[in-house]
Amino acid sequence: MTGQDAERIPKDLRPRMPAWLVDTLLIALMIPLTIVRDPGEPIALPDVTTVALVALATAALPLRRRWSLAILGVEITLYGLAAVLGALAPAISFAVAAALFAVTTRIPRRDGIIVTVITVALVLGLGLLAWRGGPTDPRIVQFALTAIIGSVLGDASRSRREYIAAITDRAERAERTREVEARRRVSEERLRIARDLHDAVAHQISVISLNAGVASAAVDGRPEKAKESLATIRAASRTVLGEIGGLLEVLRSDAEDDATAPGPRLTALDDLTQQFARAGLDVSTRVEGDLARVSGAAGLVAYRVVQEALTNAHKHGAEHRAHVLLSVDGDALTVVVSNPIDIAATSTDTPGAHLGLAGMRERVATVHGSIETGPGPGGWRVTTRLPLAPEVTR
């Protein structure tokens, strides 16, 4: 046991009573224990040898916090010396118990039991040198019990400290877990807002940008075309303002699940394809199965996937056309959006390079679906499979 023993004990878990006050109380107890006599014997002052040995034992006790095991050895040595000289007083056995308390409160229980057994054995053996009454002599038993009590109290103190430390550690880990969970929720909320904002704005802004270019080029030579493009811009502006307003309502509400928040469903798919048609993208749609079985989060995610895929087809595709396939089969909805692509342009600017694709993957993941993107028959393909809720498929 070294001087680092006390340093390993957390300061906030140490006794609140100052160390000097504890030592003062021990010294105050040592004084009457020095003059205690056996029953029936007259009260008399202790001899010089007894006083000297008790003084040495008392002086060593304050050092037990730094060198607990060494001080226990010193106290046992003084106990044995007092037994040999016939100057054994209860105060010295009390000093042994105090030193044993300091040891057992700082070491594991198994080691504490070993130290206690050795200490009690030495107390009993050395006590026989002072009294010839045998190991059952009441005075020897008394000193042994004093040492055992010191050991038990020390073990109880160590157990209490470890219990408090465990509770504190669990509380700190729980607090850290709450902080991590709070950061995770904030991160998820930021991603949700980013996805919703992208879904609400990206398509309409793309329509506005493309038609603004058409109107600018046609304003002199083809004023009718320019007017048509401006009308499309106006309609797209109204649409994006309406979607942003709906998004703000959702953000101001108490809803925590964006998958169940109000939003477009597959029933509005015709309106979506008409918007793209007015913007110059020819969209053909094929439905296999009963779309009425698709509702809730799956319907919202399917709509957003089609919207983002058509937006990318409009901005990056070739031939201004795209095909949408919706297939309800068993317990899943499969959505396939394909469009021709310019092979030369895909190496530098592909739909997969945009943030909208990341948003699609995140939305699909919220409903435990899967999504694949890349070149395929017909050009670029976005294939999504969304599981349907059990209550919907019954």
Question: Smallest Cα–Cα separation from 51: which of 62, 40, 59?
Answer: 59
Grade residue 377 by pLDDT with cuts at 50, 70 and 90. confident
**pLDDT level of residue 240 (50, 70, 90 thresholds):** confident
Any alpha helices (H) in the chain, and if so which ranges? Answer: 19-35, 48-60, 68-85, 90-104, 109-130, 138-218, 223-252, 269-278, 296-316, 343-346, 355-366, 390-393
Q: What is the pLDDT of residues 98-107, one digit of tens each?
A: 899 989 998 8
- Evaluate if residue 384 carries a pLDDT over 90: yes
Q: Distance (Å, rounded) from C-alpha 8 to C-alpha 89?
A: 35
* Predicted pLDDT at 4: 46
Mean pLDDT of 171-192: 82
**Which tokens sit at 258?**
């964006």
What is the percentage of the chain residues whose pLDDT exceeds 90?
A: 11
When pLDDT is cut at 50, 70 and 90, the band that residue 219 belongs to is confident
DSSP state of 14: S
Question: Which residues lie closer than 8 Å to 381 by C-beta, 6 or more apart?
Answer: 336, 337, 338, 372, 373, 374, 375
Rounded distance between C-alpha atoms, residue 171 and residue 154, angstroms:
26
More confident residue, 38 or 347: 38
- Residue (of 269, 196, 279) closest to 236 by Cα position: 279
Encoded tokens for 51: 């006083």
Report the C-alpha gap between 74 and 84 in whole angstroms. Answer: 15
Cα(75)–Cα(61) distance, integer angstroms:
8
Between CA 308 and CA 198 the distance in angstroms is 9
What is the CB-side half-sphere exposure of residue 274 using CA atoms within 13 A?
5
**Mean pLDDT score, 301-307:** 87
- State the chain's mean pLDDT as an integer: 78
Of 250 and 21, more confident: 21
The whole-number pLDDT of residue 355 equals 67
Q: Which of 12-26, 152-166, 199-213, 311-325 has the highest mean pLDDT?
A: 152-166
What is the distance of C-alpha 232 from the center of its chain? 50
- Tell me the pLDDT tens digit for each residue of 321-345: 899 999 998 889 999 999 988 755 4
Query: For the chain, how many residues are written?
Result: 394
pLDDT score of 95 more than 80:
yes
More confident residue, 135 or 168: 168
Q: Which two tokens stand for residue 79?
A: 């106990």
Using a CB cutoff of 8 Å and minimum separation of 24, what contacts does 382-385 make? 382/305, 382/309, 382/335, 382/336, 382/337, 382/338, 382/351, 383/334, 383/335, 383/336, 384/302, 384/305, 384/334, 384/335, 384/336, 384/360, 385/332, 385/333, 385/334, 385/335
pLDDT value at residue 393: 39
pTM for this one? Answer: 0.49
In tens, the pLDDT along 250-299 reads 667 665 554 445 566 788 888 888 878 877 788 999 998 888 888 778 88
Which of 8-12, 106-110, 242-246 has the largest mean confidence?
106-110
> Which domains, from first to last, does the chain contain?
6-174 (no CATH), 264-394 (3.30.565.10)
Give the span between the Cα atoms of 76 and 41, in whole angstroms. Answer: 26
Give the highest mean pLDDT range of 8-17, 71-80, 120-129, 192-201. 71-80
Tell me the β-bridge partners of 371.
Answer: 384
Inter-residue contact 33 to 61 (CB < 8 Å): no
Q: What is the pLDDT of residues 34-52, one digit of tens each?
A: 766 555 555 666 778 888 8
Mean pLDDT of 224-245: 79
d(CA 296, CA 307): 17
pLDDT band at 133 (very low <50, low <70, confident <90, very high): low
Range in 8-12, 23-27, 78-82 with the lowest mean pLDDT: 8-12
